[in-house]
Amino acid sequence: MSGSDLSTLKSHVDRVAKIHTLDGEVIVAKILFVSESEEDVIYDLVSTNRESQYEKLDQQPAYRIRFEEISAVEAIDGPANPPVQ
């Protein structure tokens, strides 16, 4: 993950961004919290190209991803509270 990816994540708290992981997953997420000290991101899942990896629950939990797992981040302009699929 580059410095510009970190800046994108930090500027998208309470907004939506697309996260690409090193293992090929593409996550569209509402960013909840970015911790530079813990080197991780807490997010609400909006969509993913690997839905089978996520358990379907009545209430969706927040997820965590470590900086070291992220290959790239893209800004997505959109609503602050997108519908969860």
CATH number at residue 33: 2.30.30.100
Cα–Cα distance between 80 and 48 in angstroms, integer?
18
* Confidence (pTM): 0.82
Q: How do residues 19-75 score in pLDDT, each as one tens digit?
A: 999 999 999 999 999 999 999 999 999 888 888 777 776 677 899 999 999 999 999
Residue 51: inside a domain: yes
Q: How do residues 50-66 score in pLDDT, each as one tens digit?
A: 887 777 766 778 999 99
Q: Give residue 71's pLDDT.
A: 97
Residue 83: inside a domain: no
Number of structural domains found in the chain: 1
Task: Please report which confidence band the pLDDT of residue 78 belongs to, taking 50, 70 and 90 as the band edges.
Answer: low
Residue 81: inside a domain: no
What is the domain extent for residue 53? Answer: 3-75
Only one residue has tokens 């302009």, namely 77
Q: Give residue 1's pLDDT.
A: 86
